């Protein structure tokens, strides 16, 4: 029994010593490493501080932090750096005038007259950037501007995650570029797949159309978009409404779902329904799921019910810049206005016949 107790004690002591050894190694490995031309030990605010001067380099968590001079409190593993700050981690660089870095928590902040974060061809400019070298992330809360060769984006707050190559922006987001202008509450953008997601009331303007929605995404590579919640597209007098609108810009095709409406403002015709689609190239569309057509004239409005509506446009022979529109109502057609009402199996309406 005595021998067993001795073995237990020795085993416990050995495990305890191994734990202390491992902890000490981990603590040492977590210490901020420094290189500089000169070192001067000083006392500041009652603490022993190492002051480094000339081509100073701080290293921690794979990040290299260069500056003109720095103070390091070894007891707390905290560094302060001054002048020509450059923080480098993988393909991302951060520039500023002053650096505060906490090695125990792997977090820091860079301030200055103009603080820049550069990742490939994207540059973010603001007043203060906070970062985490362990998570490879950074964020700003003092308004910032992000620019790349194609766009310029402004927002009140922003977050950047290097591993995912993804930006998040919030608060009065404004983006201007070759493709147009976008205004939204918050937005995230992935550099790898070139997809932007926007949240909150969003307005998009370009040379060809105007879009409103309250949530959506845009794929820059494929030129495809999806707009949700009270979505609306206005293009060349053709207005599309829906709770879910998928739009293929290259093919000029839109698919609409939920409280759908297709309005032709020049002809004062609007068709409502549950779902539909519209081809801008073919100038044709389809609306079904309990659809209703309204045709407004000077003194009256024609109401037309059917199981489905088909729309087609044809260029006029006498004027190629204009077109005639044929609307076909299919199955269980009912129509009424002040002085007319009736029903039939199908009905054709030609805008040319109405003039």
pLDDT of residue 10: 45
pLDDT of residue 26: 35
Domain-located, residue 129: no
pLDDT in tens, the chain (355 residues): 343 344 433 443 333 333 333 333 334 458 999 999 999 999 888 888 999 999 999 999 999 999 999 999 999 999 999 999 999 998 899 999 999 999 999 999 999 999 999 988 889 999 999 999 999 999 999 999 999 888 899 999 999 998 888 899 999 999 998 878 999 999 998 878 889 999 999 999 988 889 999 999 999 899 999 999 999 999 877 899 999 999 998 998 999 999 999 998 888 899 999 999 999 888 889 999 999 999 998 888 999 999 999 998 877 667 666 667 889 999 999 999 988 899 999 998 886 644 4
Distance (Å, whole) CA 32 – CA 267: 72
pLDDT of residue 16: 36
Domain-located, residue 337: no
Domain-located, residue 70: yes
Domain-located, residue 98: yes
Domain-located, residue 39: yes
Which domain CATH number covers 55? 2.60.450.10
Nearest one of 17, 8, 16, 52 to 33, comparing CA atoms: 52
Backbone φ and ψ of 4, nearest 5°: -65, -40
How many independent structural domains does the chain possess?
Answer: 1
Cα separations in angstroms, 232 against 95, 159, 207, 290, 325: 42, 29, 16, 20, 22
Radius of gyration of the chain (CA): 33
pLDDT of residue 44: 83
pLDDT of residue 32: 95
Residue that the structure tokens 């060349």 belong to? 236
pLDDT of residue 119: 87
pLDDT of residue 267: 82
Name residues whose C-beta falls within 8 Å of residue 292's C-beta, 6 or more positions apart in sequence: 271, 272, 273, 303, 304, 305
Domain-located, residue 38: yes
pLDDT of residue 319: 66
pLDDT of residue 13: 39
Distance (Å, whole) CA 36 – CA 39: 7
Contacts 24+ apart (CB under 8 A), 281-285: 281/251, 281/252, 281/253, 282/312, 282/313, 283/311, 283/312, 283/313, 283/323, 283/325, 284/310, 284/311, 284/312, 284/313, 285/310, 285/311
Name residues whose C-beta falls within 8 Å of residue 280's C-beta, 6 or more positions apart in sequence: 235, 236, 238, 252, 253, 254
Domain-located, residue 104: yes
Residue 81: CA count within 13 A, CB half-sphere: 32
Domain-located, residue 170: no
Residue 52: domain span: 31-119
Report yes or no: 182 and 155 within 8 Å, Cβ to Cβ: no
162: its two tokens: 């290097």
Backbone φ and ψ of 24, nearest 5°: -65, -40
């Amino acid at each position: 029994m005595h021998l067993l107790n001795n073995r237990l004690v020795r085993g416990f002591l050995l495990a305890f010593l191994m734990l202390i050894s491992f902890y000490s190694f981990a603590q040492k490995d977590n210490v901020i490493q420094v290189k500089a031309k000169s070192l001067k030990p000083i006392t500041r605010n009652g603490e022993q501080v190492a002051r480094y001067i000339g081509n100073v380099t701080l290293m921690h968590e794979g990040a290299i932090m260069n500056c003109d001079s720095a103070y390091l409190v070894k007891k707390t593993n905290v560094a302060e750096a001054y002048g020509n700050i450059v923080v480098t981690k993988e393909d991302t660089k951060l520039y500023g005038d002053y650096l505060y870095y906490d090695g125990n928590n792997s977090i820091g902040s860079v301030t200055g007259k103009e603080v820049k974060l550069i990742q490939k061809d994207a540059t973010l400019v603001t007043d203060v950037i906070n970062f985490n070298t362990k998570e490879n992330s950074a964020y700003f809360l003092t308004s910032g501007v992000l620019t790349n060769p194609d766009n310029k984006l402004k927002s009140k707050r922003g977050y950047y995650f290097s591993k995912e190559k993804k930006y998040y922006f919030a608060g009065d987001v404004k983006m201007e570029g070759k493709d147009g202008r976008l205004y939204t509450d918050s937005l995230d953008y992935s550099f790898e797949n070139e997809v932007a997601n926007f949240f909150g009331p969003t307005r998009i303007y370009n040379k060809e159309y105007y879009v409103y929605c309250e949530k959506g995404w845009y794929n820059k590579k494929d030129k495809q978009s999806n707009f949700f919640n009270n979505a609306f597209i206005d293009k060349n007098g053709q207005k599309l409404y829906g709770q879910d609108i998928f739009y293929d810009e290259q093919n000029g095709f839109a698919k609409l779902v939920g409280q759908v409406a297709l309005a032709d403002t020049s002809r004062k015709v609007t068709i409502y329904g549950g779902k539909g689609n519209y081809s801008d190239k073919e100038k044709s569309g389809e609306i079904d799921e309990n659809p209703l057509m309204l045709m407004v004239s000077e003194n009256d409005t024609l109401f037309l019910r059917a199981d489905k509506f088909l729309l087609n446009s044809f260029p006029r022979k006498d004027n190629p810049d204009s077109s005639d529109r044929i609307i076909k109502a299919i199955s269980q057609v009912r129509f009424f206005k002040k002085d007319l009402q009736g029903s039939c199996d199908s009905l054709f309406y030609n805008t040319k016949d109405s003039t």
